[in-house]
Amino acid sequence: MTEMPLPDSVTLIRHPLVQHKLTLLRQKATSTGEFRRLAREISLLMAYELTRDLPLQMTEIETPLESMQAPILSGKKLCIVSILRAGDGILEGMLDLVPSARVGHIGLYRDPETLVPVEYYLKLPEDVAERLVIVVDPMLATGHSAAAALSRLKQAGAEQLRFACLLAAPEGVSVLTRAHPEVPVFTCAVDRELDDHAYIRPGLGDAGDRLYGTK
């Protein structure tokens, strides 16, 4: 992992359980089912960090013994937007923690000639502008798809945005934070570099293929 200085907008999640599970996730011998389970568990733990500053309000409830004022979440609930297809591997774990969250999807592919991300699918809640939107993708490699997804969500009216990934490359962090300096980024590790094929090194391979057993 790199020791590069990170921008203030980037949070490295160092919780021991997250780091332990990430090590298991990286291993070549980890099966598809185990990889999927670990990704789900890590994303649930990440969701604690991503949501630690959600606003609360007080409401009156009845316990079995008496009435009291107790805190509940204030305002609209979250919206989690998955960058297809691999983003769904993080989405499910976060929904385990916040089952009432709304869900959006954005599909992007890279044009083989221009290398520019091209949108092929977008489905968002109508009130996305009123929600905190967490965009999820396991890998922040070149950063171009993540930056394009955030730009598209801004066009759709989203104002409160965060980005979460399992692994990032220094190149991807640089691209994303230059394009969207105000968007908080959460990751479990920033690895050494991208190789010539835009794979994160040492990385964990292709997250989508490992999640779904494809090549």
179 marked as binding residue: no
First and final C-alpha spacing in the chain: 26
Which candidate in 8, 53, 63, 114 is catalytic?
A: 114
**Residue 75 to residue 54: CA distance in whole angstroms:** 10
Active site annotation includes 209: yes
88 is catalytic: no
Is the peptide bond between 85 and the residue preceding it cis, with omega within 30 degrees of 0? yes
The reply to whether 206 sits in an annotated binding site is yes
> Would the annotation count 15 as a binding residue?
no
Query: Would the annotation count 143 as a binding residue?
Result: yes
Q: Which of 2, 37, 110, 192 is catalytic?
A: 110
The yes-or-no answer on residue 110 being catalytic is: yes
Instruction: Confirm or deny that 200 is annotated as ligand binding.
Output: yes
Active site residue 206: yes
Q: HSE (CB half, 13 Å, CA atoms) of 18?
A: 20
Is 85 among the annotated ligand-binding positions?
A: yes
Q: Among the residues of the chain, which ranges form H helices?
A: 16-26, 32-50, 88-97, 144-155, 170-179, 207-212
Catalytic positions are 110, 114, 206, 209
Annotated binding site for 5-phospho-alpha-D-ribose 1-diphosphate: 85, 110, 137-145, 206
Annotated binding site for uracil: 200, 205-207
